[in-house]
Chain A
Amino acid sequence: MADEALFQFLHNEVIQYIYKSSEHGEMENGRCITKLENMGFRVGQGLIERFTKDTARFKDELDVMKFICKDFWTCVFKKQIDNLRTNHQDNKFRLLTQLSAGKQYLEHAPKYLAFTCGLVRGGLSNLGVKSIVTAEVSVMPACKFQVMIQKM
């Protein structure tokens, strides 16, 4: 078992690193987000492989989504998703709670979500669901993840 603080610091460092390296290479914000997202994707793929070792085959996409909201999220962020509708919501997102509970750092929030978007997309992809995952924050530390499933 690793400690949560360690992951949070590492996550911060990863973001720092990606953004710092972009200063030299004239890389714009979008590229950084993509890079972070891709890292998350790879991690999500790996995680889902480990988590689903012993679970039964999923019936349909809803089943898969339920798994992501409950088991996957609990394993990763120690809580379930608060609200699953056509879109997803986490009212107290782990990686934002340390940051702010107001509007002050709103502009930096997307950096801290890209990795997780990738995580979800990677997880889904390994369960055979191709998707686009985006996140939006209106009030910290709540954020909404939107999963758009792409029909094959």
Chain B
Amino acid sequence: MSRQSNRTTDSKKMNAELFTLTYGALVTQLCKDYENDEEVNKQLDKMGYNIGVRLIEDFLARSSVGRCQDFRETADVIAKVAFKMYLGITPSVTNWSPAGDEFSLILESNPLVDFVELPDNHSSLVYSNLLCGVLRGALEMVQMAVEVKFSQDTLRGDNVTEIRMKFIKRMEENLPAGDEVHSRICVPC
């Protein structure tokens, strides 16, 4: 019983600097381990994906958001609920494609890059690429295949940070969701 009460009073917020710096340490390590930026980007995306497929459960359990009717609603939930909950920011949703299958998230501040400066020799590094993986992984778990990429980044001299999301298709319920998930060491919750 005491455990239960602990759960509810427990604030889930934590020091953002720890997260930012830990992420920085990870990127630094990846840059040491891999020769080129492309590989680092790929690795970050993969790790983000792994996080996303698990984060979605946490999100659905805590936010009481139901199934989204269309991609516009999905966009709203991502920007207003998910980003707010996990990173404490609310990106704006803009640049809808006429067909309604593509939109942009504009991040005015990006908590991942708080203390970051990119050195000149890492011009093609997409520093926050983890986020793309997270979004892709999470949406895949609710049967949405999407393509996510950074199209602008303040770290590389753009005015804003822009994440472009494109809806590809609705996935069948019975498809196995990637082998990645199964090959990982299982950590009990």
With most chain B CB atoms within 10 A of its CB, the pick from A2, A11, A14, A16 is A2
Residue of B nearest to A5 (CB): B58
CB distance from B43 to the nearest CB of A (A): 7
Interface pair B47/A76, CB less than 8 Å apart: no
Nearest 4 CB-CB pairings of A with B: A2-B16, A39-B25, A2-B19, A43-B21
Is A135 part of the binding interface, using a Cβ–Cβ cutoff of 8 Å?
A: no
Contact of A5 among B20, B26, B55 (CB under 8 A): B55
Interface pair A16/B13, CB less than 8 Å apart: no
Could you say which residues of chain B place their CB within 8 Å of the CB of A11? 22
Is A12 part of the binding interface, using a Cβ–Cβ cutoff of 8 Å?
A: yes
Interface pair A7/B22, CB less than 8 Å apart: yes
Could you say which residues of chain B place their CB within 8 Å of the CB of A50? 17
Is B184 part of the binding interface, using a Cβ–Cβ cutoff of 8 Å?
A: yes
Pick out which of these stretches binds chain A: B64-72, B81-89, B149-157.
B81-89
CB distance from B179 to the nearest CB of A (A): 14
| Number of B interface residues in the complex (CB < 8 A) | 39
Could you give 26 example pairs across A and B, Cβ below 8 Å? A1-B14, A1-B15, A2-B18, A2-B20, A2-B87, A2-B88, A3-B88, A6-B55, A7-B18, A9-B54, A13-B47, A14-B26, A16-B47, A17-B30, A17-B43, A18-B29, A42-B28, A43-B24, A46-B17, A46-B21, A46-B115, A47-B17, A47-B21, A98-B187, A99-B188, A100-B188
Is A35 part of the binding interface, using a Cβ–Cβ cutoff of 8 Å?
A: yes
A34 to B16, CA, bound (A): 25
A75 to B16, CA, bound (A): 10
Interface pair B26/A39, CB less than 8 Å apart: yes
A50 to B33, CA, bound (A): 28
A42 to B47, CA, bound (A): 21
Contact of B13 among A4, A9, A17 (CB under 8 A): A4
Is B185 part of the binding interface, using a Cβ–Cβ cutoff of 8 Å?
A: yes
With most chain B CB atoms within 10 A of its CB, the pick from A11, A43, A98 is A43
Residue of A nearest to B13 (CB): A1
Contact of B26 among A1, A10, A108 (CB under 8 A): A10
A1 to B109, CA, bound (A): 13
Contact of A10 among B16, B23, B85 (CB under 8 A): B23
Interface pair A76/B15, CB less than 8 Å apart: yes
CB distance from A76 to the nearest CB of B (A): 5
A115 to B85, CA, bound (A): 25
Is A78 part of the binding interface, using a Cβ–Cβ cutoff of 8 Å?
A: yes
Interface pair B19/A10, CB less than 8 Å apart: yes
Interface pair A1/B16, CB less than 8 Å apart: yes
Residue of A nearest to B10 (CB): A78
Is B90 part of the binding interface, using a Cβ–Cβ cutoff of 8 Å?
A: no
Residue of A nearest to B50 (CB): A13
Interface pair B50/A4, CB less than 8 Å apart: no
Could you say which residues of chain B place their CB within 8 Å of the CB of A115? 22
Is B51 part of the binding interface, using a Cβ–Cβ cutoff of 8 Å?
A: yes
Interface pair A39/B51, CB less than 8 Å apart: no
Could you say which residues of chain B place their CB within 8 Å of the CB of A12? 187
A39-B25, A78-B11 given as contacts; is B188 within 8 A of A6 (CB)?
no
Interface pair B88/A1, CB less than 8 Å apart: yes
Residues 1-44 of B at the A interface (beta carbon under 8 Å): 10-26, 28-30, 33, 43
